[in-house]
Amino acid sequence: MKALSENACFGGKQGVYSHRSETCDCDMTFGMFLPEEANHGPVPVLWYLSGLTCTHENAMVKAGAQGWAAEQGLALVFPDTSPRGEGVADDAAYDMGQGAGFYVNATEKPWAAHYRMWDYIAEELPALITGNFAIDREAQAITGHSMGGHGALTLAMSLPGRFRSVSAFSPICNPSSSDWGRKQLGAYLGEDEARWAAHDATHLMREHGFDGPILLDTGTEDQFIDLLRPEALAEAINARRQQAVLRLQPGYDHSYFFVSSFMEDHINFHAEALYAG
């Protein structure tokens, strides 16, 4: 693992690191914020999964999360959204291939060789960060934006006990029924839709739910809201009687201006869950 940069930040440190990923069979880069408390011992960690077209960098520089994380003594990890590099398959569309991994393990050509973002986020990167930084592996929470909200929700529901809390900003809620999902799941996982269900938050909510609190924010003026389908997940959460707070924020769109406006709430929400256990 190699440090590409490390900057003092809100009394702690914002780093960017690259490493050879066995899972994705390429070099991968991630951002990591450590609060001052990490100098004295392991701290809880909040994962932030980004959306389409993003790298590890977008949320790290635009979401305004570090200040609130520093107040709460939380680490933040900002993974990339796909494998990258010259030998890695890609697509001309912004919503396929590099920058659009959708947090699945691809089984279909040409994607299967590198696109294993599920295992990367669920297995390889947790081992790497808990082995190299002062992170309490028993105190993890997860959030994300758009495609990253989809990733956060599906990982949280599929890995019981891993995350104490899950939140999302304008998440893709029901990709099996959306143009943000059908194309990608079909390409990465094949046309058998039964294999998509494990990557559809609405389906997972109906089948499993989440053993902890959920916070979801979506802007009423989100320009992609018809692709997000919050109504499907809202129905499933309510039908399940799942502990949750679902907010439709008036006037907000899909941008990082929206994400940053409610970041304090999300950090504090996760801190409450992380320090309760």
* Using rule CB under 8 A, residue 108 touches its own copies: no
Q: Are 35 and 267 in contact (CB under 8 A)?
A: no
User: What residues form DSSP beta bridges with 228?
Assistant: none
The one-letter amino acid code at 65 reads A
* Using rule CB under 8 A, residue 207 touches its own copies: no
- Choice from 8, 92, 192, 241 touching its own copies (CB under 8 A): 241
* Using rule CB under 8 A, residue 243 touches its own copies: yes
Q: Are 252 and 260 in contact (CB under 8 A)?
A: no
* Using rule CB under 8 A, residue 264 touches its own copies: no
The one-letter amino acid code at 94 reads Y
Query: How far is 144 from 147, CA to CA, in rounded Å?
Result: 8
Q: Are 201 and 233 in contact (CB under 8 A)?
A: yes
CA distances from 236 to 129, 195, 241 (A): 34, 20, 8
- Choice from 41, 86, 194, 250 touching its own copies (CB under 8 A): 250
Catalytic residue among 114, 150, 254, 266: 254
With respect to its own copies, which residue has the nearer C-beta, 3 or 239? Answer: 239
With respect to its own copies, which residue has the nearer C-beta, 96 or 236? Answer: 236
- Closest Cα to residue 71, out of 274, 271, 275, 276? 271
- Choice from 50, 222, 227, 263 touching its own copies (CB under 8 A): 222
* Using rule CB under 8 A, residue 276 touches its own copies: no
Find the part of the chain contacting its own copies (CB under 8 A) among 76-84, 96-104, 124-132, 229-237.
229-237
* Using rule CB under 8 A, residue 213 touches its own copies: yes
**ω into 110 cis (within 30 of 0):** yes
* Using rule CB under 8 A, residue 231 touches its own copies: yes
Query: How far is 216 from 234, CA to CA, in rounded Å?
Result: 10
Query: How far is 236 from 251, CA to CA, in rounded Å?
Result: 25
* Using rule CB under 8 A, residue 122 touches its own copies: no
- Tokens 């990253």 identify what position? 148
* Using rule CB under 8 A, residue 14 touches its own copies: no
Catalytic: 80?
Answer: no
Catalytic: 40?
Answer: no
The one-letter amino acid code at 18 reads S
* Using rule CB under 8 A, residue 238 touches its own copies: yes
Tokens of 2: 């190699």
**Minimum gap (Å) between residue 59 Cβ and its own copies:** 24
Catalytic residue among 21, 146, 167, 178: 146
- Choice from 3, 245, 257, 268 touching its own copies (CB under 8 A): 245
* Using rule CB under 8 A, residue 236 touches its own copies: yes
* Using rule CB under 8 A, residue 220 touches its own copies: yes
- Choice from 230, 258, 266, 270 touching its own copies (CB under 8 A): 230
Q: Which residues touch 61 (CB under 8 Å, ≥6 apart)?
A: none
Q: Are 30 and 77 in contact (CB under 8 A)?
A: yes
* Using rule CB under 8 A, residue 141 touches its own copies: no
Which residues are catalytically annotated? Answer: 146, 222, 254
Interface with its own copies by CB under 8 A: which residues? 213, 218, 220-222, 225, 230-239, 241-250
